[in-house]
Structure 1
Amino acid sequence: MQYILIADSGSTKTDWCLVKDGQQQARLETKGMNPFFQTQEQMEEEIRQNLLPNLPNEQPAAVYFYGAGCTPEKSPLVNASLERCFPQATAIEVNSDLLAAARALCGRKPGIACILGTGSNSCYYDGDAISFNVPALGFILGDEGSGANLGKRLVSDLLKNQLPADLKQAFFDEHNTSQADIIDRVYRQPFPSRFLASFSPFLSRHREHPAVHQLLVKAFKSFIRRNVMQYQYNTLAMNCIGSVAHYYCNEITEAANELGVSIGQIMKSPMEGLVAYHS
């Protein structure tokens, strides 16, 4: 059986899709593979232990890996681990999660592709490659509209009494935390962006509250102004992928409409689009 293998990897998990003749045959999941945090040997071990035993005996004809942290400097580490695990594959490609979003959302046509998840990113895609990218800069300097940014806005406004008292009371009723704990988690503990993003569900549950609605729309307008409006937004639609894009599609659309930016596709995951692209 000749098949191809497509991977969409974050720091937490990797989603693998086995594809034959343009059709998905199986979906598998392993731990995340991020070359910023893992060595070549660690990534190779994860593939050998948790992926290979669940694949057909035959080797894939090609492996297309898209992942967080797959910069030009770090991609060779992932490529080397894949080559050792799939020696008979005739093609192995390692690309960024942003190119995955662009290919999934735009296919082979030019467009504006955005990621809105725990972090955020965006680019102008010319139908073949990313030709312009406003730097994301992470949740401290950038990542506007991301889960981490939404969480940061929420706790900052709550602790500085910028949101109504009923909302502040609801927050501390629903979350077993305190100001001291929040400060510790953000400034002293690892993965502060994940911690801040964990408050996104609170915003989703209270999205009908006028103050929450305003916070959400303001955050997405900031993302659009500081990123999307540096691309050809007058002639191209803004396409989005990621959990935040999926769950807040109405607020994103409202923010875009207020700024005169048209919305194209909104997807939760790039895999369906990547299967279509590589088929």
Structure 2
Amino acid sequence: MILLVDSGSTKCDWIAVDKDGNQLLDKLRTKGLNPAILAEKKLKKTIKKSKELSAHRHTVTHVFFYGAGCGTENPRLLLKGVLNNFFPNAEVEVNEDTLAAVYATVNHKNEAAVVCIQGTGSNCSYYDGENLHQRVDSLGYSLMDDASGNYYGKQLIRDYYFNKMPHSIRVALEEKYNLESDYIKYNLYKQPNPNAYLAGFAEFMFLNKDSEYIIELIKSGFREFAQNMILQYKEEIKTVPVHFAGSIAYFSENEIREVAKEFGFTVGNFTRRPIEGLVTFHTNELKNNQA
């Protein structure tokens, strides 16, 4: 059994397939496994909580894990150790989520492209057709993550408290969320995964896209992302497309295309969940390695 895993900070999708790419179990979902913000004990607890994973832990031969927080060595090795321990008979690979986005969005394995992730967090890399290049080390949700779910959640809360949103949007936000200051501070400073808590507000944008305020909020965030991240690859975007992965990007496609025209780069493909594209890639790779 081969496990393909795509994890953000909020949620983690698992697909079990055989060597021919046939799905063996229904797609599983656990809470996100971000080793940059979760302790080893919490990572283990989250995986063990899945009855399906526990039932098949000894039959898994390969684990290909792609996740937020896996772009630096120490968190990556921490999670790799947890997975090795839980799946004792498996070969385990842990890679950053950007690589999953690459394999899921490029039109063929050797296509060069700039690939962006906009989900709970955000990131941007250049894939030269073989290797991944990043020019900015991510410092996480409190300092970076422009145009991500947690970024937009933060902006909505700020605009609410600074009285910078239309009255109708303010009322709708109050109806959907608990906006008491003590409750917000409790979730931000006393609970795990504050980035995921903030990202939970992002859904509100897509339920209210008939508002000019919301449309401009989306575009403003993406302008920051383009300026700070995509333009790190100023020369590359002259000749390669810019692909997008993640639910925020997927539901903001029209706004992204408008801002892309302002910045003069070519928008490529959008995918909401990268994990489906990983099945074909890895089963083909395993077949080639066995040939």
Residue 151 (structure 1) aligned to one of 147, 150, 153: 153
Q: Is the 8 A contact 1:17 1:24 kept in 2?
A: yes
Across the aligned residues of Structure 1 and Structure 2, the Cα RMSD in angstroms comes to: 2.7
Q: 1 CA distance for matches of 2:130 and 2:217?
A: 36
CA 182–123 in structure 1, closer or farther in 2 if over 3 Å, else same: farther
Q: Is the 8 A contact 1:185 1:195 kept in 2?
A: no
Paired residues, what number?
274
CA 49–138 in structure 1, closer or farther in 2 if over 3 Å, else same: closer
Residue 264 (structure 1) aligned to one of 234, 248, 268: 268
Q: Is the 8 A contact 2:8 2:120 kept in 1?
A: no
CA 267–19 in structure 1, closer or farther in 2 if over 3 Å, else same: same
Range moving further from structure 2, 202-211 or 126-135: 126-135
1:84-123 aligned at under 5 Å gives the runs: 84-89=85-90, 91-106=91-106, 108=109, 109-123=111-125
1:35-184 aligned at under 5 Å gives the runs: 35-36=35-36, 37-39=38-40, 43=44, 46-47=47-48, 50-55=51-56, 59-70=59-70, 71-89=72-90, 91-106=91-106, 108=109, 109-178=111-180, 180-181=181-182, 184=185
1:189-268 aligned at under 5 Å gives the runs: 189-190=190-191, 191-231=193-233, 232-268=236-272
Range moving further from structure 2, 105-114 or 210-219: 105-114
TM-score (norm 2): 0.82
Residue type of the alignment partner of 1:200: A
Q: 2 CA distance for matches of 1:33 and 1:181?
A: 27
TM-score (norm 1): 0.85
Gaps of 5+ in 2: 284-291
Residue type of the alignment partner of 2:24: Q
Match of 1:24 in 2: 23
Identity %: 36
Q: Is the 8 A contact 1:123 1:133 kept in 2?
A: yes
Q: 2 CA distance for matches of 1:156 and 1:44?
A: 34
CA 56–227 in structure 1, closer or farther in 2 if over 3 Å, else same: closer
Residue type of the alignment partner of 1:237: P
Range moving further from structure 2, 42-51 or 108-117: 42-51
Match of 1:273 in 2: 277
CA 25–182 in structure 1, closer or farther in 2 if over 3 Å, else same: same
Q: Is the 8 A contact 1:245 1:268 kept in 2?
A: yes
Residue type of the alignment partner of 1:72: E
Q: 2 CA distance for matches of 1:258 and 1:66?
A: 32
Residue type of the alignment partner of 2:82: S
Q: Deviations over 1:27-64 (max 9, x none)?
A: 2234433334132795288359634444397x344221
What secondary structure is seen at the aligned counterpart in 2 of 1:18? strand
Q: Is the 8 A contact 2:8 2:119 kept in 1?
A: no
Q: Deviations over 1:225-244 (max 9, x none)?
A: 21112111111111111111
Q: 2 CA distance for matches of 1:242 and 1:163?
A: 26
Q: 1 CA distance for matches of 2:216 and 2:69?
A: 33
Q: Is the 8 A contact 2:30 2:46 kept in 1?
A: no
